[in-house]
Every structure is written in C-alpha cells, then in structure tokens.
Amino acid sequence: MMVEITQRRLAYIDWMRGFACLMMFQTHCYDAWLNPVARQSEFSKLSQFGGTLPAPLFLILSGVSFALVTDKLRQRGSSTGEVARTTIRRGAEILALGLLFRVQEYLLGFGWSPWTDLFRVDILNEIGLSMMLMGVTCWVVGRLSSGSPSLGALRKKNLIVAAGTALAISMLCPLIWNNWRPRFLPWPIQSYIDGVHIFDQPQPWLFPLFPWGAFAFAGLAVGFYLLTDWARAHEAQAISALLAFGLTVGAFALWLDAQPWRVYANYDFWHTSPEFFLVRLGVLLLILFAAYAWCRWGAGQWGFSPFIEMGKTSLLVYWVHIEFVYGAFSILKKQQQSIPMATFGLAVIFISMVVLASVRNRMKGKKEAIVALLDGPVQP
C-alpha cells in the first residue's frame, strides 16, 4: 500500500509539473509568434493570464520535491551535514545551468543580444537559489534541534520554519522593492534580491528572491506536511485540507485587498503584495488538489500520460523548447502569425516535447541496464 501511495504521489507531482510545461509552451508560443493585431485580441490576453501560472508552479513543486528528497536522505541515515551538502550542491547545479543557459542565449543571439542579458535572473536561476536557501534552512533546523529528534519531529519543525519563511518573504517584498533595496551591491547581485537588473526600478518580468522565493518555501512546507504521519495515513483528507486552506487564505487575501486601509505605503497588488501571493498560493493548492484527484480517481494514469512524461524531464523540455520558439531555430516567423497558425505551432511544440521527454525517460532505464551489464560480473 505504501508503494502505491508513493507512486501516486510522484505521479501527481509529475503531472502537475507537466501541466506547468504546457502552460509555459502556450505562453511562449503566442508571445513569440502572434502578429501585432492578434496580440490585441482577448485570446492573447487570456494566454497571458495563463502565463502567470508556470513560474509559481515550478517553484512550489521544487519545494515539494526538495522536501521529499530531504526526507528520503534522512531515512537512509544521512546526517544533517550530508543532507545539506547534497541538496545545496543540487541547487548550485541548477543555478549553474541557469547561468549556462544565459550564455547559450547570448551566443545564439550574438550581435543583437546585449551582454547584460548574461546576468538576467530567470526562473532557473531562482529555482537554483531557492534550493540552496532551502538546504541551508533545513540544515539550521537540524542543527538547532536538540538531541537526536525523530524524523516526525524534524518534519514538523521544517514545516513550521518553511511556512514562516514563505510568509516573511512575501511580507518583506514591498519593503525590499521600495524602501530597503540593497543598492550597495553590484546590480548583477542585487537583481537576485529585488530584480532591478540594469534599471532604476525592480522589473516584474524577472524572478528575484523577493517575491518568488516565497513560492519555493511554501512548497517546502507543503512537502513536509504531506510527509507527516497523519498525511501519509490519510492522503486524500490531507490534500483536501490543503485545498480548504488555500481557498480560505485566498479569500482572506482578497478581503484584505478590498479594505480601505493599507499596511504598506507603496502598495502594488499585482507584483509585491502579500495578498497576491496568498491568492496565487490558493490557486496553486487548487491545482494540486485537481492533479491529485485526476491521478487517483480520474484518467491521469491510464496508460500513456503526456503530462507525466514531460513532468519527469521538465528541465530538458524547458531548455529545448525555448530555442524553437524564441531562439534562432524558431519553427515560425516571430510576430507574424495569426492565432490559428500560432496554435498549430504550439501543437507541434507540444507533441515534439512529449516525444523528446518520452525518449529521454526510456533512455534512463536503458542506460542503467547497459551500465549494470558492463559493470556486472563476467559469467563463466
């Protein structure tokens, strides 16, 4: 039974990540290919609205996955220091890949791409930074826990600290963007904190720690919650409780936004407010519940699942699709397409990325088999 629960948990997380990939594809495809007239349509505006989902989805899922990996390492007997080294190193690898991606984009666009794009804080950079910070946070919690606490006790402590960190980031964001900007730092470093880049003001199209890191820590809290003994024994009820919590905090945030008084002198609901963070958190928990329900009671795992396939290799499909949408190898001429033609291009990208992900996933198993064959003992 525990194996079935674990498989289902991984399945709905992968499905949710694959859904984020699809929303990312449609956002990028329509943004890159639609002609000026089509870009003014209601359809285009709806696409842009859907484009607000992928980044927080990827971040919250990185937090959930981080909790699962951390707990698995602890179950294997790894020390607090070993867990920290493993997870922080993985975050550093993702950050390095983000920097490498920026170098690739600069070289492919050499001649018209500004050198400052090399230091643009994109979603991969933020995921890597957040993972490193989550590793440090879990290390601090482990070190400050007296004696040899049980796994259950560590899960609860990490849950509380992660939730508090997410809330703190969201509440500090308006101050960081307006009053407490670290202007003493070089702008490539400052951009990781407030997204200022080369401009005088923080840019909402970048992915700095404030506010985006809050989603990763919220995912970390969700992950440790799902690992508690009660959640493991009552999985459906636990996911339903998350849905109820999300709807409650979302409604509360909208009520706060409607009040005539303001806590912050510079209030920007859509970019820096804690209220918008809570509303989006509610939406993400709604999607989490829907993904879980679809994979457990629906057709989410009936045979072949494109979303699950892409969810297992989301980094690869992210990297590759960018080049065929925005890059020099774009399959359609940019900013010249009608909605039907751009939709056709989206279908081509989606199918191609599903095929790529499927091949990659199956190669993983074959690679392990080949290595085992080569490394195995020679039979007489």
Predicted local confidence at residue 146, as pLDDT? 67
Which residues, given as ranges, of the chain have pLDDT below 50? Answer: 1-8, 369-380
159 and 43, same domain (yes or no): no
218 and 334, same domain (yes or no): no
103 and 246, same domain (yes or no): yes
**Any domain includes 285:** no
Could you tell me which residues come within 8 angstroms of residue 218 by beta carbon, excluding any fewer than 6 positions away? Answer: 60, 63, 162, 163, 166, 281, 284
**Any domain includes 291:** no
Predicted local confidence at residue 367, as pLDDT? 53
Residue-wise pLDDT tens digits, 31-69: 999 999 999 999 999 999 999 999 999 999 999 999 999
Provide the residue range defining the domain that includes 114.
60-272
115 and 201, same domain (yes or no): yes
Q: Is the pTM of the predicted complex or chain greater than 0.95?
A: no
**Any domain includes 32:** yes
252 and 128, same domain (yes or no): yes
Closest by CA to 90, choosing from 75, 107, 68, is 68
24 and 83, same domain (yes or no): no
76 and 215, same domain (yes or no): yes
Contact in structure between 33 and 335 (CB atoms under 8 Å) = yes
| Cα–Cα separations (whole angstroms), residue 91 to 110, 145, 210, 283, 295 | 29, 24, 18, 26, 29
Of 272, 293, 314, the last residue of a domain is 272
Longest CA–CA separation in the chain, Å: 83
Residue-wise pLDDT tens digits, 228-270: 999 999 999 999 999 999 999 999 999 999 999 999 999 999 9
Total tally of structural domains belonging to the chain: 2
316 and 359, same domain (yes or no): yes
204 and 143, same domain (yes or no): yes
Closest by CA to 134, choosing from 205, 55, 57, 68, is 68
253 and 361, same domain (yes or no): no
Could you tell me which residues come within 8 angstroms of residue 274 by beta carbon, excluding any fewer than 6 positions away? Answer: 167, 170, 171, 173, 174, 253
120 and 260, same domain (yes or no): yes
2 and 113, same domain (yes or no): no
Predicted local confidence at residue 162, as pLDDT? 98
